[in-house]
Amino acid sequence: MRQRRKAREMALQILYGLDVLKISAEEAIDLFQRNFEAQVITESKDFSSFLVKGVWNNKDKIDELISACAENWSLARISRVDKSILRIAVFELLNCQDIPPKATLNEAIELGKVYGSENSGAFINGILDALYARFRKEGTEERFS
């Protein structure tokens, strides 16, 4: 399995835990890595930690962007799994210039198909397509720190 895909899967699991446990990002990362040490490869660990900390530190802004493209869906109605996948993808689109946007979108859709409901892939695709089109139209260059 490619290292970035594994890192995204790890980030998804950690972000889901953050939504449920209400602990800090650092605690959640540490908890995951201690409990799944055999699965954690250094390259995956670094990228997943980058994603988790970036998403969690910018969650409000990311959620605003998602909400703006989720017609007829409030953020509260989106499943935790789908929301975590969307957050990762939005963060990547804005902060990982070395990853082609289409790759980010495809990876998010695949994660939705594997970890979400039967409609998650299409749902995630719809929101991310709308958001990415908005970014291109606006020439969005905003970045999170």
- Angstrom distance (rounded) from CA 4 to CA 143: 21
Burial 72-90 (b: 16+ CB within 10 A, else e): eeeeeebbebbbbbbbbbb
CB distance 109 to 124 below 8 Å: yes
pLDDT digits (tens, 9 = 90+) for 9-31: 999 999 999 988 889 999 999 88
**Model pLDDT for residues 64-79, shown as the tens digit of each residue:** 999 999 888 888 899 9
CB distance 55 to 62 below 8 Å: yes
Q: What is the mean pLDDT of the chain?
A: 89
Which residues touch 78 (CB under 8 Å, ≥6 apart)? 66, 70, 86
Does the global pTM surpass 0.85? yes
Domain boundaries, the chain: 3-138
The two structure tokens encoding residue 73: 């869906």
Exposed/middle/buried for residue 115 (C-beta within 10 Å: 0-12, 13-18, 19+): middle
Which of 41-50, 87-96, 113-122, 133-142 is predicted least confidently? 133-142
Give the CATH number of domain 3-138: 1.10.940.10
Would you give the DSSP letter of residue 139? T
